[in-house]
Structure 1
Amino acid sequence: MSDIPWDDLWPQIVIAMSTLLAAFLGFLFAGVNDARRDRRLAGRERATRDEERRAAALRARHEFQLATLLELQDAIQLMARLTGRAMHFDHMQARKGQYTQLPGGHSEDMHANGVDVIRLRNRLLDADLRADIQRFESASVDATLSPQTFEGLEGDALESAALARINTFGDEVSRIMDRLGTSLRAELEWRPSEAD
Structure 2
Amino acid sequence: MYVWPCAVVLAQYLWAHRRSLRGKRVLEIGAGVSLPGVVAAKCGAEVTLSDSEELPPCLQRCRSSCRANRLPHVPVIGLTWGRVSPQLLALAPVDIILGSDVFFDPKDFEDILTTVYFLLEKNPHAQFWTTYQVRSADWSIEALLCKWKLKTIHMPLHSFSADKEHLASSSLPGRHTIEMMIISLAQ
TM-score, reference length from structure 1? 0.21
Which protein shows a greater Rg? Answer: 1
More helix by share: 1
**Structure with greater contact order relative to length (CA < 8 Å, sep ≥ 6):** 1
More strand by share: 2
TM-score, reference length from structure 2? 0.21
